[in-house]
Structure 1
Amino acid sequence: RLEQILEQTTGTNEHEEYRLWLTSMPSDKFPVAVLQNSIKLTQEPPRGLKANIMRTFQNLTDAEYEGCEKPRPFKKFLFATAFYHALILERRKFGAIGWNIPYEWMNSDLKT
């Protein structure tokens, strides 16, 4: 369907500087012809321990960060947990070398 819509609009009085931007998740159903006639860009999140820790703190709301009666111990605990979470995410990349058994560790595990 997308391919048909693009074929119908191509060449019909569009401005010479007209550009169509499409965003998509990876999909086997995305039309190959559209991919072949496109400029493709990818955006991947930064990798590494520091990037994972930063992402954890960026996902926190102010209420979550400031919402404890004992802020100093809580923030120490929060950093330790974020560090551990980032370490697990990094170690997961090594597959069988990093773990004996494959573990699924997600951001929802950190929220818990």
Structure 2
Amino acid sequence: MTTQRSRRLRKKLRVDEFQEMGFDFSVELKQPLDESQADALVDAFLDEVVIPRGLEFGGWINGGFICKAGRGSATDADREAVADWFKARAEVSDANVSPLVDAWH
């Protein structure tokens, strides 16, 4: 049975045309990093990928969740940019990025 909701309610619930997508990522490092190296890698990730693409990132360098800052959805291009950035780093042995998933439900 289909539930009919008003546009206002669909927007509030972030469903249908207001659905927002994000993705998980996981990273395996070649060797453990000390705190300053991990901080430098996270800062570089934020400065080179997350902020320029208008994304938000929750987690740490070994994995987390990424979605669009504000309203909207992350894109497949965002997924590819994150995966490519991690794979290009000397500190990283493997990086996996999940398909887009609903960021709210």
Please report the TM-score for the alignment, with normalisation by the length of structure 2. 0.27
Higher strand proportion (structure 1 or 2): 2
| Max Rg structure | 1
Higher helix proportion (structure 1 or 2): 1
